[in-house]
């Protein structure tokens, strides 16, 4: 009897919103979504994470979705 393979679940994390200080662009909170899909079922969640002010601030205009997703991870 052939072995059945388990479904592979893929996760997708995306930035939903950023909260920042307008004076210098410091992002202090990122709101994000995570979606999971195994080919049959899907699920999603929404979360938020706070950040401490870094020593070297990246200008808000230079932030990318990939960079902020990395912070969230």
Domain boundaries, the chain: 6-53
Share of the chain above pLDDT 90, in %: 90
Facing residues of 45 across strands? 34
Cα dihedral: 32, 36, 41, 47 (round 10): -30
Residue 32 has pLDDT above 70, yes or no: yes
According to the model, what pLDDT value does residue 35 have? Answer: 98
According to the model, what pLDDT value does residue 34 have? Answer: 98
Question: What is this structure's pTM?
Answer: 0.84
Q: What is the mean pLDDT of the chain?
A: 94
CB atoms within 10 A of CB 15: 19
- Over residues 51-66, the pLDDT tens digits come to 999 999 999 999 999 9
């Amino acid at each position: 009897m052939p072995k059945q393979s388990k479904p592979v679940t893929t996760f997708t994390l995306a930035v939903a919103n950023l909260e920042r200080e307008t004076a210098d662009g410091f992002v202090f909170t990122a709101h994000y979504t995570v979606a999971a899909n195994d080919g049959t079922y899907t699920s999603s969640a929404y979360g938020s994470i706070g950040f401490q002010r870094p020593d070297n601030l990246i200008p808000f205009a230079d932030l990318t979705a990939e960079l902020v997703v990395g912070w969230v991870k």
